[in-house]
Structure 1
Amino acid sequence: MNQTATSISIEEDLFTLNAYLDPFNKRIRIDNYLGNTDLLIQKAENLVQKHFAEKLIFKVRSEQLSHFFEKGFQPEAVVDSYFLGSDAYFVTKYYKVDRRVNDHWIIEDQIIKGISELKPVQQKIYPPDGYELKKAYESNAADLAALYKQVFPIYPTPLNDPEYVKKTMREGTVYYIFVYQGNIVSAASAEINDFYKNAELTDCATLSEHRKYGLMKFLLQELEGELRKKGIYCAYSIARALSFGMNAALFQLGFHYRGRLLNNCYIYDKLESMNMWVKDLASC
């Protein structure tokens, strides 16, 4: 089976839907829909069978939440103001028992508890000497791909491919990087949805020997500034539930925890759950 993720649009008499088919992570995500919910849910589940998916995710508006509950979906996370000011609930259904089991749930809960007890950073912090923060362009694609390949043995998207990195840039994704002695040592991106005015802060990676400087916080703050200039105020990020450092960075930047996507994608070295973090960029 082809492992390349694709987005498709389906229009039938009584509904339309936009689906993200993700064979590598064995999941299907419905990003947008309109019309008869019974028929579009049936169509989505037909896609699950056709593509041998183990998990189905719907981004649901609050006024339709109870209908999806009636169809057996369970809520896992919410993004405030995702749909032009209306909240989006990530509701899911599973089609394989193993995909519904999480042996790390207690540890992940403990990480969230520990992070909630952290104090915000009061003093202004600056990057150490020798680190240059800059916006990345297509000319940086090969070095970016090399960074992602080095940091993540497994990643949900093919960011180890320079051509894929260039493709995301052409589609509007913004990357910021730190360069040290001529090499990219840290990077993050904002994947922008211009229609609904939201953005996912994602693709966060720092080489292990440079992590002690908190470079990711600087990158995310720079991306936040870029989003504000574009009139994007709903920002969210999905972090590995087992990563104390990344979740702590988001918490200390003013993001709020909004749930956990169970066994959501293959990242780092296995199938992992991901924590949802949300920030209103217009309130700060």
Structure 2
Amino acid sequence: MTNDAHDEQYYTMETIQENEFTLQLCKDPFNKRLRVDDYLGNVHAICLRLAKLLENDPFTKLFVKAREEDWRTFAARGYMLEGVYTGYFDGRDGYCMAKYTDLERRTSDHWIEEDRILEQVLELEPKMEREPLPDGFTLRCGTPSDAEELAALYGLIFQTYPIPMNDPAYVAHAMEEGTAFYVVEHENKLVSAASAEINGVYRNAEMTDCVTLPAYRGFGLMRQLLQALEEELLSRNIRTAYSLSRALSFGMNAVLAQLGYAYQGRLTKNCDIFDKFEDMNLWCKTLQDK
């Protein structure tokens, strides 16, 4: 996603081009992290440049989506493998290589509890079939005219969120940039929503911004939304999907597992969500093989 005036307080997208490499970076001061979305060139030189960035900026976490042939080089420079983005690079795996500058950020507060939740989730039976919506509910594609109501929905549920989804201008901007939204309505009110942030270059999408009002949980709405988004992605020739879910959330992890997403790792204190930095489970799914 490109930058817009109203989201620069959260992050900036930058391209650094030098003789030996090119880096595509997301500088994210709100979440105190530096993310490398893409790169090309000499990995040793890239690591040196990133080390300089960590010295001068207030980031406590850096992570790189590394290619298969490079992840060991990042590991040799002190990076840790936290997860594998299955099929991220147009069918080839991406490796989440992380580095921390702060011990508190590096240390998980709930790892054992999250392991217990994961064990319970992995025991669940798949629920791949598409079920009809309950009476009175409508599922449809989101449009920019929904931005105001969507922002209110996210602001109501999340005390803090990694990106400004409580800002209608940001939501509308995300749609303009190609993010697909699906929503569920009940009595002309939005009660649940989810989105897919699409990377057309590498034919992947992040299933994200999943939210349901508490009174409407238990109806299977999120499963319906993700299935609709998967169909939308297939129509756009996207081959793989992934999602980052709060490791402390049984419900969201259960939805992903039952829809055939595979657990691929846990990213420690990855973002500020629900008023604190939380560990996020990585789930991946192949939508098409060719």
- TM band (smaller chain): over 0.9
Normalised by the length of structure 2, the TM-score is 0.95
Q: Is the 8 A contact 2:160 2:273 kept in 1?
A: yes
* 1:190 Cα deviation from its structure 2 partner: 0.3
5+ residue gaps, structure 1, are: none
Question: How far apart, in 1, do the equivalents of 2:191 and 2:73 lie?
Answer: 46
- Distance in 2 between the 1:210 and 1:227 partners? 26
Mapped to 2, the partners of 1:193 and 1:43 lie a distance apart of 25
SS, match of residue 70 in structure 2: helix
Identity among equivalent positions (%) equals: 48
The equivalent of 2:178 in structure 1 is 172
How far off is 1:122 after superposition? 7.1
User: CA–CA distance in 2 between the matches of 1:280 and 1:85?
Assistant: 9
Q: Distance between the aligned counterparts of 1:80 and 1:58, measured in 2?
A: 15
Amino acid at match of 1:208: P
For residues 184-205 of structure 1, the C-alpha deviation after alignment (integer angstroms, 9 at most, x for no partner) is: 1100000000111100000000
- Distance in 2 between residues matched to 1:158 and 1:178, nearest whole Å: 21
Higher relative contact order (CA 8 A, sep 6+): 2
Amino acid at match of 2:267: L
2:118 matched residue in structure 1 = 112
> Are 1:137 and 2:143 counterparts?
yes
Partner of 2:279: 273
Give the secondary structure class of the aligned counterpart of 2:184.
strand
Q: 2:77 aligns with which of 61, 71, 81?
A: 71
Corresponding residue to 2:248 among 229, 233, 242: 242
Question: Is 2:161 the partner of 1:155?
Answer: yes
Per the alignment, do residues 214 and 42 of structure 1 end up closer, same or farther by CA in structure 2, a change over 3 Å counting? same
Q: What value does the CA root-mean-square deviation take over the aligned residues?
A: 1.2
State whether structure 2 residue 8 is matched by structure 1 residue 8: no
2:86 corresponds to which residue? 80
Q: What's 1:146 paired with? A: 152
CA 1:87–1:123: 2 relative to 1, 3 Å: closer
Structure 2 residue corresponding to 1:92, chosen from 98, 114, 118: 98
Q: Which moved more, 1:238-247 or 1:76-85?
A: 76-85
User: Which stretches of structure 1, 4 residues or more, deviate above 3 A after TM superposition?
Assistant: none
Distance 2:43 2:163 in 1: 29
**Number of residue pairs aligned between Structure 1 and Structure 2:** 282
The alpha-carbon distance between structure 1 residues 124 and 42, as it changes in their structure 2 partners (threshold 3 A), is: closer
Which ranges in structure 2 are unaligned for 5 or more consecutive residues?
Answer: 1-7
Q: Could you tell me which residue of structure 2 aligns to residue 128 of structure 1? A: 134
Give the whole-Å Cα distance in 2 for the aligned partners of 1:39 and 1:118. 45
> In structure 2, how many angstroms separate the alpha carbons of the residues matched to 1:273 and 1:121?
25
